[in-house]
Amino acid sequence: MMNIKNQLTTYLLITLTMVFAMSCGGNSSSEHEHDEADSHDMEEMEHSAAEEHEHNEGEEHDMVGMEHGDGEMMMGEGFTWMPTEESMSMMEYKTDNIRVATSGDEDVLMFEPAGQKASCMFKNKQGNVGVTATLKMESSEAAVMLLHHSTGKDNYEFVSLEGGVMKLGRVENGEEKIFDSKDIDVPSDWFTLTVTAAGTHYKGYLNEKMITHGHGDMMKPGLLGIVASGNSTISVKKVEATPLEAER
Amino acid sequence: MQLLPNWAPGIHPLMIHFPIAFLSLAVGLTILEIFYSREWLTKAISGLYIFGALSAVVSYISGRSAADSIGLNLKAEVAIGTHSDWGLYTLIYFGAFTIIYYLEKFILKRNTLAVRVLLAVLALAGFFILGQTAEYGGRLVFEYGLGVKN
């Protein structure tokens, strides 16, 4: 009888260990966290005015001359952004060294960091998301970063291109963690840079080809943005954000 | 010599049927073993779990490679990640369970009814995980059209 009890205890412990191991970092728990984060964010949005101030004050990316616009979007709503003077209202803020310019027949958003940082953030918050920017880097001295899940200067996720390297990572409480990085040839003409955040999976694409793939815990929904740095200009002619639906 | 047929996008869609077949059969026989315990059956089940777990390793590795090579597909992005996660759980679970089964049957040799029932319950839990992996894999093909030409 004792022997059977010992066996039962052994298997119970094994089962519990397995269930625990599966739940750590698993999707269901992540989705639960995500749901909690979502509802938390909806509450936060009710206090948007106070929070925007706080967010911007805590912000980041060397923000100066922030502009607040009137364009409003629902949280998690996808969008396609084209640079016009009107569409600048979709931005939460931008630095002074960004302007709408004309390149050929098209309007572009021109980042002129000149050794500083030039950045802009879009208004709506996103959870699981795919963000694609169509851009051109004038020289290899330019560096660009697509941000997502940004909740402040010390907390965001990113894919970046700098010095012929694509990096995929996260800054959490000011500490940078690189999920993956790969050497690449950055096109001299227009190209698309995409980052996707699907659950605990993060990927960076260049011209729709996957270059980097990493994993990390799911973060709270946050803002999307672009940060340029270096001594060369970067032109952006389109930004598309696509919410990624959770599986059922 | 060409190992893969032209229509196959990679080794993953071919490999995945091995763990599904081996492990499903092993789970079924583990349940049968509750009522019909024979040494030859135990050996057969052990073999199925070992081959099932090994083929799950190959399936997972080939799946990672396949997922990284399909290009940008935003609609399927979450499903790809979910399928990958369940695939990893299947691999870990059946890897651990195979060791437990082998230890129980060939080292500890505690062939009591309670042990057989508990092993069957653990095997069924693994079958659920395997089923989740297979479901999301199937959806990637039949709902999102991944790996399908035209």
Whose CA is closest to A157, among A198, A113, A197, A206? A197
Query: Where is pLDDT greater, at B39 or B6?
Result: B39
Residues whose CB falls within 8 Å of the CB of residue A109, separated by 6 or more in sequence, listed in order:
A83, A98, A99, A100, A101, A120, A235, A236, A237
B88 close contact with A: CB closer than 8 A: no
Residue-wise pLDDT for A117-171, tens only, equals: 888 888 878 888 899 999 988 887 889 999 999 888 888 999 999 988 999 999 9
Residues whose CB falls within 8 Å of the CB of residue A14, separated by 6 or more in sequence, listed in order:
B96, B100, B122
SS3 state at B25: helix
Closest-CA distance of chain A to residue B137, Å: 12
Q: Which residues of A are less than 8 Å from B86 in CB distance? A: 27
Q: Which residues of B are less than 8 Å from A14 in CB distance? A: 96, 100, 122
Q: Which residues of A are less than 8 Å from B122 in CB distance? A: 11, 14-15
Amino acid A167: pLDDT: 94
Pairing of strands A79-81, A234-243: antiparallel
Residue-wise pLDDT for B8-45, tens only, equals: 778 999 999 999 999 999 999 999 999 999 999 999 99
B60 close contact with A: CB closer than 8 A: no
**Which of A17-21, A41-45, A101-105, A151-155 is predicted with the least confidence, judged by mean pLDDT?**
A41-45
Nearest CA in chain B to A3: B110
pLDDT exceeds cutoff 70 at A27: no
Residues whose CB falls within 8 Å of the CB of residue A43, separated by 6 or more in sequence, listed in order:
none
Report residue B7 as tokens.
Answer: 């229509």
**Are the Cβ atoms of A26 and B122 closer than 8 angstroms?**
no
B91 close contact with A: CB closer than 8 A: no
Amino acid A45: pLDDT: 34
SS3 state at A205: strand
Closest-CA distance of chain A to residue B119, Å: 8
Q: Which residues of B are less than 8 Å from A18 in CB distance? A: 93, 96, 125
Q: Which residues of B are less than 8 Å from A27 in CB distance? A: 81-82, 85-86
Residue-wise pLDDT for A174-199, tens only, equals: 999 999 999 999 888 999 999 999 98
Nearest CA in chain A to B89: A22
Q: Which of A7, A22, A247 sits opposite B115 (nearest CB)?
A: A7
pTM of the model: 0.76
Residues whose CB falls within 8 Å of the CB of residue A71, separated by 6 or more in sequence, listed in order:
A87, A89, A90, A91, A123
Amino acid A121: pLDDT: 87
Whether the ipTM is more than 0.90: the answer is no
- Chain B interface, best mutation among A4, A22, A129, by max B CB count within 10 A: A22
Nearest CA in chain B to A200: B81
Whose CA is closest to A156, among A61, A230, A46? A61
Amino acid B111: pLDDT: 87
Q: Which residues of A are less than 8 Å from B110 in CB distance? A: 3, 7
Rounded CA-CA distance A11/A70 in Å is 60
